[in-house]
């Protein structure tokens, strides 16, 4: 998907404005509103926020004033309907039946069947028995519109020393009203700054009005509800420790801080498990706003160094615990002569469609090269449909149905944008090629200082290079493979399974 340069420029202005507003509210809950914390500026995010970006950058302040009250009422109505729709599922959640536990992990349910043998974020860490030999509790945040039928996965999971539950999307009605009253306090705080005389531009005031409107929106309400439900579960189970995933989303810092303030004796940790790219502004910024007693886990020493360079955190604030991506198996390396290019798309239709198009046209130009499109697990519902839209497929171009490890073992090159697959391929001697249309290297999780590699921002230059590669004799030697694996291990070290037993 191509992005208009003006829109990307507007997005940069939007982020700068967000950061200014964030500073204004840095000592209140308003700062951690979703609109002010953009985890990653990938094209899909920019596209989703286009209306807000365009209105803010064009300073449509007075039109915002006219529509302010109607927008507030619409958000209020949507949130109330959402609450009552999901209330029955909250009533079914077994708060009072939860077993006592020592450690709670908060993970993500993305529509795939939750696995009992290995969590996609924490790996086998939740399976490790704690000091009191109680089963750990694995809670899933549900990012889907509906409610899954399997409200808990207790029977099978208990065999692996953990209980698994999917969190409800609302609270009881009385608590819901209390949360709304507290959020109205945030709205009043924002409006005070809107009407206050000062040096703020129309752009900043417009964003403040949108910020006020979104206080009553689903995203803001959802993170408030999430914190409340986890707080209730912690109280019910008398848990001593909690580990949240951390990617720079607003709810991660918000929930961690809320729980630490409400339950001071709870040992709260956040865990960077996924690749971090240079453009993840909120990731680095929000680390400073975590309660100083919250521990930050990272997947490798290289990410620890990157974070220390980008923040003012002391080294002692970060603990390297490794990653499930550092698997025990080491496939034998034989060297490869036939060029096979894997395209690792991210979990969105736009990303998958872009990489399907990229691979398809490359396959037409290079009939002697194999092109494999690897869809993200989140694309399971529509990947075949998108692939069929390409019409007649050449024999050297196909959609992968194999495992990630097998695809990487076959590949000589991996084309990626911000996916971790480019990094994971290093373990198997796969040459990384970064491609991000018109967005340079800000989305590349591999630092060129760690590993010089190909990076492209336009399709013509990319295709020309693929032609050159297709004509080349490809063979990675053992020394290069060792260098690749050393880089990989810097980002994803072996998972330390005893890290929470102290």
Domain 340-475: give its CATH architecture: 3-Layer(aba) Sandwich (3.40)
Q: How confident is the model at residue 6 (pLDDT cuts 50, 70, 90)?
A: low
Residue 245 and residue 276 in contact, taking contact as beta carbons nearer than 8 Å: no
pTM of the model: 0.90
CB burial of residue 471 (10 Å; 0-12, 13-18, 19+): exposed
Mean pLDDT of 434-447: 87
pLDDT at 2: 46
Mean pLDDT of 368-383: 87
Q: Is the pLDDT of residue 156 over 70?
A: no
Report how far residue 360's alpha carbon sits from residue 377's, in angstroms, rounded to the nearest whole number: 21
The domain spans of the chain are: 5-81+174-221, 340-475
Percentage helix, strand, coil, to 5, in the chain?
50, 15, 40
Report how far residue 13's alpha carbon sits from residue 415's, in angstroms, rounded to the nearest whole number: 29
Structure tokens of 412? 């000589």
Q: Helix, strand or coil for residue 501?
A: coil
C-alpha 288: how far from its chain's center? 19
Report how far residue 93's alpha carbon sits from residue 129's, in angstroms, rounded to the nearest whole number: 25
Residue 285: which H helix or E strand, with range?
helix 281-287
Residue 276 and residue 492 in contact, taking contact as beta carbons nearer than 8 Å: no
pLDDT tens, residue by residue, 297-347 = 999 999 999 999 999 999 999 999 999 999 766 555 555 668 999 999 988
Structure tokens of 391? 């019409």
End-to-end CA distance of the chain: 48
Q: Centre a 10 Å sphere on the Cβ of residue 434 and count the other Cβ atoms it contains.
A: 22
Between the alpha carbon of residue 244 and those of residues 122, 272, 297, 372, 429, the distances in Å are 10, 9, 10, 34, 32
pLDDT-wise least confident of 262-276, 440-454, 471-485: 471-485
Residue 427 and residue 405 in contact, taking contact as beta carbons nearer than 8 Å: no
pLDDT tens, residue by residue, 384-425 = 888 887 766 678 898 998 888 899 988 999 999 999 999 999
C-alpha 14: how far from its chain's center? 20
Q: Which residues contact 32 (CB under 8 A, 6 or more apart)?
A: 223, 250, 251, 253, 254, 257, 286, 289
Ranges assigned E (strand) in 167-317? 241-245, 267-272, 295-298
């Amino acid at each position: 998907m191509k992005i208009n340069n003006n829109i990307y420029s507007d997005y940069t202005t939007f982020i700068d404005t967000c950061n200014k507003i964030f500073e204004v509210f840095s000592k209140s809950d308003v700062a951690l509103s979703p609109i002010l914390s953009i985890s990653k500026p990938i094209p899909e995010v920019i596209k989703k926020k286009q209306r807000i970006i365009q209105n803010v950058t064009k300073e449509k302040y007075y039109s915002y004033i006219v529509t302010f009250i109607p927008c507030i009422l619409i958000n209020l109505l949507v949130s109330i309907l959402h609450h009552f729709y999901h209330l029955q599922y909250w009533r079914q959640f077994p708060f009072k039946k939860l077993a006592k536990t020592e450690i709670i992990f908060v993970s993500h349910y993305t529509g795939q069947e939750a696995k009992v043998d290995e969590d996609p974020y924490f790996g086998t860490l939740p399976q490790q028995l704690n000091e009191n030999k109680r089963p750990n509790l694995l809670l899933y945040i549900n990012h889907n519109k509906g409610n899954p039928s399997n409200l808990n996965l207790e029977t099978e999971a208990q065999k692996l020393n953990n209980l698994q539950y999917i969190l409800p999307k609302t609270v009881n009605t009385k608590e819901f009203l209390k949360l709304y009253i507290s959020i109205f306090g945030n709205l009043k705080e924002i409006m005070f700054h809107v009407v206050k005389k000062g040096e703020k531009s129309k752009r900043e005031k417009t964003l403040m009005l949108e910020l006020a409107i979104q206080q009553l929106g689903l995203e803001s309400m959802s993170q408030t509800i999430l914190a409340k439900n986890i707080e209730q579960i912690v109280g019910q189970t008398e848990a001593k420790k909690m580990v949240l995933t951390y990617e720079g989303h607003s709810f991660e810092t918000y929930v961690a801080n809320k729980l630490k303030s409400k339950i001071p004796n709870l040992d709260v940790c956040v865990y960077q498990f996924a690749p971090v790219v240079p453009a993840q502004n909120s990731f680095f910024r929000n680390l400073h706003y975590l309660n100083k007693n919250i521990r930050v886990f990272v997947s490798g020493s290289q990410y620890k160094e990157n974070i220390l360079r980008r923040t003012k955190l002391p080294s002692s604030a970060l603990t390297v615990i490794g990653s499930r991506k550092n698997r025990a198996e080491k496939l034998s390396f034989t060297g490869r002569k036939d060029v096979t290019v894997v395209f690792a798309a991210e979990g969105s239709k736009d990303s998958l469609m872009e990489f399907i198009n990229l691979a398809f046209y490359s396959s037409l130009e290079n009939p002697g090269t194999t092109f494999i499109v690897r869809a993200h697990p989140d694309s399971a519902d529509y990947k075949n449909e998108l692939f069929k839209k390409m019409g007649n497929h050449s024999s050297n171009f196909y959609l992968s149905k194999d495992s990630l490890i097998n695809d990487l073992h076959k590949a000589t090159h991996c084309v990626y944008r911000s996916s971790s697959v480019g990094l994971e391929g290093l373990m198997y001697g796969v040459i990384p090629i970064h491609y991000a249309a018109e967005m340079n290297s800000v989305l590349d999780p591999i630092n060129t200082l760690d590993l010089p590699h190909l990076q492209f921002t336009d399709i013509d230059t990319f295709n020309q290079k693929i032609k050159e590669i297709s004509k080349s004799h490809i063979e990675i030697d053992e020394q290069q493979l060792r260098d690749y694996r050393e880089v990989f291990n810097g980002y994803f070290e072996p998972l330390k399974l005893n890290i929470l037993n102290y």
